[in-house]
Structure 1
Amino acid sequence: VWVPSYPEAKKPSYLNDFLDHELMAMHDPKAPKPSLKPMSHEDIDLLVRQFAAAAIRAKTAGIDALEIHGGHGYIISEFLSPAMNKREDEYGGSHENRARLLLRIIGAVRQAVGHDFPVWCKLDSGEFGNEKGISLADAKATALLAQAAGVDAVTVSAYHDTSQGIMHSESNIPHTPERLVSNAIAIKQLLDIPVITSGRIEPHSADRHIGQQHFDFFGMGRKLLADPDLPNKVVAGTPEQIRPCVYCYCCVSQIYIRQSVKCAVNPETAFERERSLIASSHANNKHYVVIGGGPGGMEISRRLDSLGYRVTLLEKSNRLGGTLQFASIAYPPNEKLLNWLKLQIKQSNVTVKLNCEASPELLSTLQADEVIVATGAKRDMPEIEGNDQDFVFSGDEMRALVLAESNPTLRTKTSAFTRFMTYMGAKTGVTGWPTAVYQASKIWLPLPKKIVIIGSELVGLELAEFLAERGREVTVIDKQKKPGKGLYIVRRLRLLTELKTLGVNIITQVSDIRIADHQVLYTDNHGQQYSIDAKQVIVAQGASGDQLLVESLAKAGHKVHSIGDCNGVGYIEGAIEAAAELAVALHQEINHVAANRTINNHSYQQHSPT
């Protein structure tokens, strides 16, 4: 592996945050162990020629423009970085020397493709978390040199100290909205050529910045994985139709485990051939009844409707959303997906029946040809000694409290004032609006100061963040070896760092968990017994698949399919992916039967006596 010079050895701070199966997936025992080689002058000359040759191939293939990637820790970025480049020749030391490789590549590429072919370069506007790395001042100087060398535009990005887990979502794929805009503005003020920027910018906000001449274009990565038609929808004036990215880092986390890209909200990403379908003339003869209005139920309903089938969606509560409603409060980006799914159902031909409990008799009345169960997981209270006390909430009780849903056991565990406030929230519709609940809970949340959460998977950790941000002292305990199951790698690296900053104490590998009088007792992995003060205990575990309805409907004679968490906890991605897979299977089955029927009819017409 070529490097400018031997880099400083750094041990990543986050290796313990990877789950065991991820560490195994990251390692390829057959792959040769890479060795580092500081580039000689001959190597540099070869690299410059290779860039020029690649540019010629791209132009010959009909590519419209080229971007020279000078960022994100790749070789050009390493030469530009004072932290990575310790050379003592004409390619190291001063800023001009560190930029020499980039300028040679720009010159060679420009000569190869001509002056009438668009060429620009991507640059890091900072090396976040690394005081010795690229600074904004460095980036400004590099951008001016690149402009003088003949690039047609500059893309403003950033990189980071890769040894810090949270930084993986702080630079080129930032979690903070508009993280790089201020850097883009600073560079734009110096240049006479267009500036492109990126980094979690919403289209309406980008439009405003472009109008104010803060930058000229904005690039997207994650958003286009979630919805490749985003630009077309913006041009058409229908931005509400854009399927939103929820910044879960499903896509980029695949890189760490050597897997192909995928998207949690768009199951067709990287599976376009397998999962993209068109409507069929045979579809309208089939009536599907979907039970459960969560993400899986809404996704399968809208997909089957778009293919031309007749769909009825049953939801036993008074609103669509399922567990996504609560997930949108704990993690606000989820609300955009919730609203998008609701809009797709509203604009479809799907018949929605709220406050409707499914039964074999109802399905017969509806004349369902086939039934799809998407009712989610069951959340039984685990067998923990002392779990029947009033200060102990199950996950369902916690969700009912926040969403003001009816729950028979919750009534005995809350005060009259709390019940009145949640009643008013439900009556006024406030609790049906996750953004309002998220904001209002910063002012009033009927939970005491010291809280212990039992369960360190996705739900437990996002709940811990939600509560800690509202001033609660939170401890998370779990029997599992490592926290964060259900969170994608990059999101987990960030969340665990944020929880530490918020003062959340996470204790794993414990046993013999018991709940006493406002205390949680446990034994650590060394056999030592401990206790934690707890004015409130929330059990955020115990979710599992629930096939009872599936079995009862099948026993009653209905043809039944099941998707989502009722088959086993798979969260949003699992539910939406299962919906896409089932839609493909059902559609292919219909078309296969129709094709066979057409063949048989044709055969009969050819060979029947006249």
Structure 2
Amino acid sequence: MAKLTKLFTPIKIGQMEVKNRIVMSPMTTLFATMREEITPLMLAYYSARAKGGVGMITVEVCTVDRPHNYQFKSLALWDDKFIAKHRELTAAIHAHGAKVVPQISHPGPESRAPVLYKIPAVGPSVIKSVMTEETCKELTKEEIAEIVAKYGDAARRAREAGYDGMELHAAHSYMLVGSFLSPLRNKRTDEYGGSLENRARFAIEVIKSMKAKAGADFPLIMRISGDEMVPGGRTLEETVRMAPMLVEAGVDAFHVSGGVIDKLCTVIQAGPEYPLGLNVPAAAALKKAVKVPIMVVGRIKYPLQAEAILQKGQADLVVMARALLADPELPNKARAGKLDEIRHCISCLNCFDSQAALEGLNCAVNGQLGFETEYTLEPAPKPKKVMIIGGGPAGMEAARVAAIRGHKVTLYEKQSRLGGSLIFASTVHPDNEDYLRYLKGQMAKLPITVKLNQEANAATVVSEKPDVVIVALGPDLVAPKIPGDQQRHVMSGPDLKQILGGNLKGPGAKKLPAWQRWGLAIGRPFITSLTPEQVRKLTHIWMPIGKHVAVIGADLAGCELAQFLAERGRKVTLLDSGEQITPEVGIKRRDNVQTLLKKAGVTVLTKVTCKEITKKGVIISTAEGKEQLIEAKTVILAGEARPNPGLFEGLQGKAPEVYAIGDCAKIGLIRKATATAMAVAAKI
């Protein structure tokens, strides 16, 4: 294994020494109070990341101006009254050896003042914010001077609260400083607008104010978009030209991000359609232009990836965001060489969508996130005999947590391998495979008895006499009933999953030509041992699917299947009766899916009724009542997932404690499986 020699060497930012090169990015949590105060949950959340070995933590946005909140539950440093609680936070983080800086900002056009205080937001010019959909007013020179002073006052409070430095948010053509720097938003004609030097004037005044009031020796990091990546935005060349001016004003390091704000933070929180380390080229360019340390953020998920960035001299520190939500212990595990034990982010965008829904921050693969004070995973007062039925993501997560807490765990899985629905989910969404590998690795590492090819039932429970039974069966998948659905060229989504997994017992396999069934039967021992990555490669060569495919059902599973087939040369039409695709996911994930479907060339038709399946394809009726034929050599009924509570209900009274988790209890995605597993296993 390659050594992480650079990643775990110390570095100085101004007078502050950071013990390693891993920085936690500032991320809104919505864990604060409505009064912008730090809570016990925030202390536990940040402490967990500090304990996990990160070198420096950047605390989420702290606002500088009384009426201008960033979120309804965000933090503030606009008054001395906040210092005491911030001091508690810095002490909690310092207890684990990490450095900590607050991200200081004025929300500017993104201010919640119009809703909370019935006054307009403010900006360099009149701007309608895509985030709040409110229009701000243009600041006068006198108001600019007042806000510059408020930045300085907030910086002074940060030092008094025990922070080790401060970060100034100036990225993404967003909030106040970022808006002044960007030609997209700054339309002023006075000395604060126009030329690059004029657009940088407000930022420079803010930097000088912060340094003057906090102390010239108090490190200041500036978060900035290296490239705004949109027509009319600030280019990388302009940022490189501007950077020395900012260093001269007092910047001690740059935190390089990219892109501009939009409703879905498309580039800021990039989905799997973007490359890993998407901002590294911009960081490398800035590193050549200035002599202060360069930090880089943006889809940096893996320690070896981070080490390579540092070894190539493209940046001095790596900033991780979602990676540290998924696994706070990532730094410690990496340093100990336990790379296979890291629970990686799966790029599902659940964290963004939880914020958009005004929930507290949560994570699809980390059920403790947002519950750090509740799910402490302390040893159980009395170890119990725990039987878990079902080896999918919910069952494996429940087994992991229960075993960590000292219970005697036996996991039953009726198939020949672990994974359940996560196997095919990892085939069509490659990032999921990291989570599948992690869970299977934990089953092997922890004292868990795994019984494959064994279908547990009521008789098994009565025989084994467990103290606790956790039922983690997958959902019932019900295909829609459409005239013509029994024809040989029609199969269900589960049929296809079974065939690609080497299972020939399903009704779909029986419809295959004899030579294909014969070939699959011979190759079954090989096929069942394939990883999702290997299946992805082999399906570019062969699948039992015609060249023209209609997929009926546009939930997430149907959409990912349609994309998967289109990327393998099929002409795919996706059909659904609803008004929009993927109703079970949030706005950002839905937008990501739409982008990927478009890129793959999938035709998406919503608000249609599938009237009949013929030998030529699917006859549909549009919302306007017009009938048309969608030509297809293969028709796939994606099906609807429904809860599967039968076994759970039948086990009532057969053991002292019986629980249902995952899709057995309520339909959901990986997030639901992980959350319900954690909620039960952390409490038994």
Give the TM-score normalised by the residue count of structure 1.
0.88
Could you tell me how far apart the structure 1 residues matched to 2:521 and 2:162 are? 63
* TM-aligned CA distance change 1:138 to 1:287, over 3 Å: same
* TM-aligned CA distance change 1:189 to 1:84, over 3 Å: same
- Which residues of 2 match residues 113-512 of structure 1 at below 5 A? 113-128=214-229, 130-160=230-260, 162=262, 168-173=265-270, 175=272, 176=274, 177-201=276-300, 202-283=302-383, 286-423=384-521, 425-428=523-526, 431-512=529-610
Could you tell me how far apart the structure 1 residues matched to 2:603 and 2:218 are? 56
Could you tell me how far apart the structure 1 residues matched to 2:343 and 2:404 are? 15
Could you tell me how far apart the structure 2 residues matched to 1:67 and 1:203 are? 24
Whether 2:155 is the aligned partner of 1:55: answer: yes
Q: CA deviation at 1:348?
A: 0.7
Higher relative helix content: 1
Residue identity opposite 2:644 in structure 1: D
Q: State which of 121, 125, 144 in structure 2 corresponds to 1:5.
A: 125
Could you tell me how far apart the structure 2 residues matched to 1:466 and 1:91 are? 50
The residue that corresponds to 1:592 in the other structure is: none
Q: State which of 646, 659, 662 in structure 2 corresponds to 1:564.
A: 662
Contact 2:309 2:315 survives alignment (8 Å)? yes
Could you tell me how far apart the structure 1 residues matched to 2:545 and 2:623 are? 30
* TM-aligned CA distance change 1:401 to 1:346, over 3 Å: same
Q: Please provide the CA RMSD for this pair.
A: 2.0
* TM-aligned CA distance change 1:408 to 1:158, over 3 Å: closer
Contact 1:430 1:436 survives alignment (8 Å)? no
Q: More displaced, 368-377 or 497-506?
A: 497-506
Could you tell me how far apart the structure 1 residues matched to 2:519 and 2:248 are? 64
* TM-aligned CA distance change 1:423 to 1:486, over 3 Å: farther
Could you tell me how far apart the structure 2 residues matched to 1:395 and 1:569 are? 17
Could you tell me how far apart the structure 1 residues matched to 2:251 and 2:654 are? 70
Q: Deviations over 1:354-400 (max 9, x none)?
A: 00011222223322222111011011332222111111111210111
The residue that corresponds to 1:83 in the other structure is: 184
Could you tell me how far apart the structure 2 residues matched to 1:355 and 1:558 are? 26
Q: CA deviation at 1:469?
A: 1.1
Residue identity opposite 1:292 in structure 2: G
Could you tell me how far apart the structure 2 residues matched to 1:550 and 1:385 are? 34
Q: CA deviation at 1:44?
A: 1.1
Contact 2:227 2:236 survives alignment (8 Å)? yes
Q: Deviations over 1:488-545 (max 9, x none)?
A: 3212112202312332111112225321223111211112212211111111122211
Could you say which structure has the greater relative contact order, defined with CA pairs below 8 angstroms and 6 or more residues apart? 1
Q: CA deviation at 1:217?
A: 0.3
* TM-aligned CA distance change 1:512 to 1:495, over 3 Å: closer
* TM-aligned CA distance change 1:558 to 1:539, over 3 Å: farther
The residue that corresponds to 1:15 in the other structure is: none
Could you tell me how far apart the structure 2 residues matched to 1:417 and 1:488 are? 43
The residue that corresponds to 2:5 in the other structure is: none
SS in 2 for 1:127: coil
Q: More displaced, 437-446 or 324-333?
A: 437-446
The residue that corresponds to 1:112 in the other structure is: 213
Contact 1:159 1:172 survives alignment (8 Å)? no
Could you tell me how far apart the structure 1 residues matched to 2:669 and 2:611 are? 26
Q: CA deviation at 1:424?
A: 5.3
Q: Deviations over 1:238-288 (max 9, x none)?
A: 2222111001111112332333211111111111112222003412xx211
Runs of 4+ in structure 1 off by over 4 angstroms are: 555-559
Contact 1:404 1:431 survives alignment (8 Å)? no
Q: More displaced, 357-366 or 265-274?
A: 357-366
SS in 2 for 1:273: coil
Residue identity opposite 1:5 in structure 2: S
Residue identity opposite 1:181 in structure 2: V
Could you tell me how far apart the structure 1 residues matched to 2:138 and 2:194 are? 15
- Which residues of 2 match residues 548-559 of structure 1 at below 5 A? 548-554=646-652, 559=657
Residue identity opposite 1:311 in structure 2: V
Which ranges in structure 2 are unaligned for 5 or more consecutive residues? 1-120
Q: CA deviation at 1:557?
A: 6.4
Residue identity opposite 2:648 in structure 1: V
Could you tell me how far apart the structure 2 residues matched to 1:264 and 1:181 are? 26
Residue identity opposite 2:123 in structure 1: V
Could you tell me how far apart the structure 2 residues matched to 1:328 and 1:423 are? 24
Contact 2:287 2:293 survives alignment (8 Å)? yes
Residue identity opposite 1:190 in structure 2: A
SS in 1 for 2:569: coil
Give the TM-score normalised by the residue count of structure 2.
0.79
The residue that corresponds to 1:41 in the other structure is: 141
Number of residue equivalences: 560
Could you tell me how far apart the structure 2 residues matched to 1:376 and 1:172 are? 31
Which ranges in structure 1 are unaligned for 5 or more consecutive residues? 13-25, 28-32, 587-610
The residue that corresponds to 1:102 in the other structure is: 203
The residue that corresponds to 2:63 in the other structure is: none
* TM-aligned CA distance change 1:558 to 1:517, over 3 Å: farther
The residue that corresponds to 1:525 in the other structure is: 623
Q: CA deviation at 1:150?
A: 2.0
Contact 1:127 1:161 survives alignment (8 Å)? no
Q: More displaced, 411-420 or 151-160?
A: 411-420
Contact 2:377 2:404 survives alignment (8 Å)? no
Q: CA deviation at 1:431?
A: 4.9
Could you tell me how far apart the structure 1 residues matched to 2:298 and 2:632 are? 40
SS in 2 for 1:237: coil
Contact 2:466 2:655 survives alignment (8 Å)? no
Q: State which of 133, 158, 167 in structure 2 corresponds to 1:67.
A: 167
Q: State which of 522, 537, 548 in structure 1 corresponds to 2:635.
A: 537
SS in 1 for 2:635: strand
Could you tell me how far apart the structure 2 residues matched to 1:153 and 1:102 are? 15
The residue that corresponds to 2:42 in the other structure is: none
Q: CA deviation at 1:584?
A: 3.4
Residue identity opposite 1:494 in structure 2: N
* TM-aligned CA distance change 1:556 to 1:108, over 3 Å: closer
SS in 2 for 1:288: strand
* TM-aligned CA distance change 1:482 to 1:298, over 3 Å: same
Contact 2:467 2:655 survives alignment (8 Å)? no
Contact 1:430 1:437 survives alignment (8 Å)? no
The residue that corresponds to 1:20 in the other structure is: none
* TM-aligned CA distance change 1:62 to 1:146, over 3 Å: same
Contact 1:397 1:407 survives alignment (8 Å)? no
Contact 1:543 1:569 survives alignment (8 Å)? yes
Could you tell me how far apart the structure 1 residues matched to 2:137 and 2:406 are? 59
Could you tell me how far apart the structure 1 residues matched to 2:522 and 2:529 are? 9
